[in-house]
A and B are shown apart, each in its own frame.
Chain A
Amino acid sequence: MKYRTGLKRALRHAHVAPDGELGPFLFTPDDRRRYDTPLLETWRRAHYEHASVYELPYTVAEGFAAKHRIDRATFLKRIEPRMTRLERLRVQESASRGKAAVAVDLGSMPLTRLASYVLSLPVPERVDRRGELTGALRAAAVRAAGRAAGGWGRVAAVLDDSFSASGSAQKRRRPLAVALACHYLLAELAAEYVPLWTSGRTDALLAHPYGMTPLGERVLDALEHAPDRLLIVSDGWDNAPYGLASEVLRVWRARLDPARRVVAVHLNPVYDAEDFDVKRLAAAVPTVGVRDAEDVPALVEFARFTEGRTGFADLRAHFDDRVARFLEEG
């Protein structure tokens, strides 16, 4: 329904003849008097009848609402039951502008989405809703951490909120959102947690991309806390000065921690299109790409495996455990 035009193009391109009512639905909808498939029939009726609009998925219904010139507030109020939780989160701002309220349960949102949502809010609003937002982020982090909560020992995290964390125009502030989500997740995973933002800020909720990336200095700060695990969430553009973080990590691994007592992992939320990989920070520390903060426990396990710290059996056990948990939750 939602990708009708796209599907039509794909079928036409591949010369596939769709069977049943799909053919008329896609190619000759005007000739059809009625459909036997209920969803297609609702779609046909929605062209003429307001009530049918509200039985369609939200994104499809939105187009019909515009066509029928349905008032935005009325539309949102009646379509609300059909909305997915991400759609609810997305329309919060436009709904409040139109004096309509769409109930959203922030507590049930995935962690990284929630972090993106928090970063999309203006700073004064974040201050006003501090309790609510922090609570939701914590709850999401607790869920993402699952049984591993508190099991990571002393964790020091270097989190990049430099200007380059603004991300792309398509996914605005995505690197920063991942860093913020990691911040809350690591706080749950760690027994003792030290967050170090590159800008030196201490209030994570008010994060915004600002300034240069002194990763080297922050890594030094982090190592001073003598952590069990060091996590660096950054796009890897260490520019104040270039290569200091890499050198610090190299010398530290070679001279100060040759036994590899500390687990150090670099998590990179930015995919580098030029070499089809994420940018590495240092040879001494494994780098893994991270898309959602929820994957961090798995990724760290992977990183340890690639580094040769854990064997295949451990990795397998870890993933069996995760699969079991996923099935339990599902």
Chain B
Amino acid sequence: MTVRLDLTGLTTRAAQVWGGVRLVPLTRDEPITGLRLHARAYGDDPGLVEVGRRTHYVSYIPHGFVATWTDDDTPVAAYGTQLKAHGTLAKGGDEPPVHGMRLRFHRRMARRVERNRLRFLPLHLAVEGYLALHFGGPQVVWEERSQRAIRRGLSPRVEEAYAGVEVAGLADALKHFEIHPGQCGVLVYVADALASAFVVPHPDDYRALHATLVQDMYGELVHYYATFGMPVPRFDVRLPDDVASLADLRAVAAREQAEWARFHDATMADGLLGESYATNRVYRMGDYTLSRFLPTFRLKQENHVGELITDRVGRTAYLKTFRLSEAQIRRGHLLANLAAHDWHLPTSAAALGITEHQLGLRLHGAGFGALIREDVLAHYRAENRR
């Protein structure tokens, strides 16, 4: 199912700039009260999410969220800041395959903790989706696939991401940011590249979660942009001189603000809002649907993966996105193409406009060499040399 992100009900407000980081607040006139979110602090230890046997993948999980929800639209303050001990600290027999850091096991990404509560880990859903899309293994086993890839899938399933504190300037920008009274979301631009979008149902949730943005994951690209980027300009307001009265002046000021919102939505956030996404429904609870979405993997363009909670009519209640780096997009593009052709190398190569051996070597270069049997790979290499 392909969808577009629907940010109906959210208004773009004036951006606030700190160094290379531009934060664009989104406000809601009417907060959603039927769905509330709460942070579950797991501390800063990297977590390991257990998806199934032998399918651990490594990533940095600073925290998970609990979605609290009621059928009628009553406020759910009673659920408030309840923190539940996560009782899933089962250290399995497998050695955690990471750089010697202490790991925590979260049994599933999204699961019922109790009635009316849904716990999930942000971004993980999305990154897992990205990995799981093709890594579950193709249905048809072609002879090129190595025995290893058939037995173990694509392993290890590792994607790199940086915590927000490692993104230069982001922590300061978030600290100095002045939260709007009705703010329900923010778009984070680093060096004017959209790094992440974050939307919650209610302003109180936003206030609680604002500081956690610094613990979220950001792609490699964002990290590099932040490190090497220059301070971004502020886009100061310019008003025309031809006003006759204060009412005129107010009108041109309002027009200027609307103009910014239009420019932002149509130009700056176009890479996120203007594209359609393949969604995968994870969970449905009452009026709300939790899903993760994938981009179409357009090369050399913005591609975001993310997770989304929508209401019955498809409006966004919760949104969190993660911008893929160039290498990730290339890998995703290759895999998406292979999957579209049932993992048949000759037809995929034809679709990409290259020869079979070139595709084989490209797969190898992208880190998927293990997919192809060693002798076939050697054959491709020989072909390439000729």
Residues of chain A whose beta carbon lies under 8 Å from any beta carbon of chain B = 162-164, 199, 210-213, 216-217, 220, 223-224, 239-244, 246-248, 250-252, 254-256
Contacts and interface: CB of A to CB of B under 8 A. Distances in A.
A206 to B, nearest CB: 15
Centre residue among A162, A212, A217, A256 by max chain B CB count within 10 A = A212
A217 B16 contact: no
Centre residue among B25, B239, B244, B256 by max chain A CB count within 10 A = B239
Given A220-B246, A252-B249, A211 B16 contact: no
Interface in B7-61: 13-17, 25
Contacts of B260: 241
Which interface class (under 10, 10 to 19, 20 to 34, 35 or more) fits B?
Answer: 20 to 34
A255 B252 CA distance: 14
Contacts of B176: 164
A103 B364 CA distance: 81
Contacts of A251: 239-241, 243, 249
B73 interface: no
28 contacts: A162-B178, A163-B179, A164-B176, A164-B178, A211-B178, A212-B14, A212-B16, A212-B178, A220-B246, A223-B246, A239-B178, A240-B13, A240-B178, A241-B235, A241-B257, A242-B14, A242-B16, A242-B235, A244-B239, A247-B236, A247-B253, A248-B239, A248-B253, A250-B239, A251-B239, A251-B249, A256-B243, A256-B249
Contacts of A246: 236-237
Contacts of B243: 251, 255-256
Contacts of B13: 212, 240
Contacts of A250: 239
A163 B25 CA distance: 15
Given A220-B246, A242-B14, A212 B241 contact: no
B239 A211 contact: no
Centre residue among B181, B240, B260 by max chain A CB count within 10 A = B181
Contacts of A162: 178
A217 B253 contact: yes
Contacts of A255: 241-244
Contacts of A210: 181
Contact of A247 (B14, B16, B179, B237): B237
B262 interface: no
B236 A242 contact: yes
A247 B238 contact: yes
Contacts of B17: 242
Nearest to B180: A212
Q: Is the interface of A mostly helix, strand, loop or mixed?
A: helix
A209 B151 CA distance: 60
B241 A211 contact: no
Contacts of A240: 13-14, 178, 180
A224 B246 contact: yes
B245 A256 contact: yes
Nearest to A165: B178
B250 interface: yes
Contacts of B15: 241-242
Given A212-B25, A242-B16, 4 more contacts: A242-B237, A246-B236, A255-B244, A256-B243
B281 interface: no
A223 B246 CA distance: 8
B234 interface: yes
A211 B234 contact: no
B249 A211 contact: no
Contact of A239 (B14, B245, B257): B14
B329 to A, nearest CB: 33
A256 B246 contact: yes
B333 to A, nearest CB: 38
B237 A216 contact: yes
Contacts of B240: 251
Contacts of A256: 243, 245-246, 249
Contacts of B178: 162-164, 211-213, 239-240
B106 to A, nearest CB: 34
Contact of A220 (B181, B244, B249, B257): B249
Contact of B249 (A164, A239, A248): A248
A256 B16 CA distance: 29
Interface string B272-314: 0000000000000000000000000000000000000000000
A252 B178 CA distance: 27
A210 B14 CA distance: 17
A242 B257 CA distance: 10
Nearest to A220: B250
B245 A211 contact: no
A241 B159 CA distance: 38
A242 B234 contact: yes
A244 B254 CA distance: 10
Nearest to A216: B253
A77 B237 CA distance: 59
A243 B16 contact: no
A244 B179 CA distance: 18
A83 to B, nearest CB: 38
B189 to A, nearest CB: 15
Contacts of A213: 178
Contacts of A248: 239, 249, 253
Contacts of A163: 178-179
Nearest to A211: B181
Interface in B217-246: 234-246
Nearest to B245: A256
A163 B16 CA distance: 13
A242 B235 CA distance: 7
Contact of B180 (A211, A217, A244): A211
A223 B181 CA distance: 24
B246 A247 contact: no
Nearest to A237: B178
A172 B122 CA distance: 35
Contacts of A212: 13-14, 16, 25, 178-180
B181 A244 contact: no
B239 A247 contact: yes
Contact of A241 (B14, B181, B249): B14
B250 A244 contact: no
B256 A244 contact: yes
A284 to B, nearest CB: 12
A16 B242 CA distance: 68
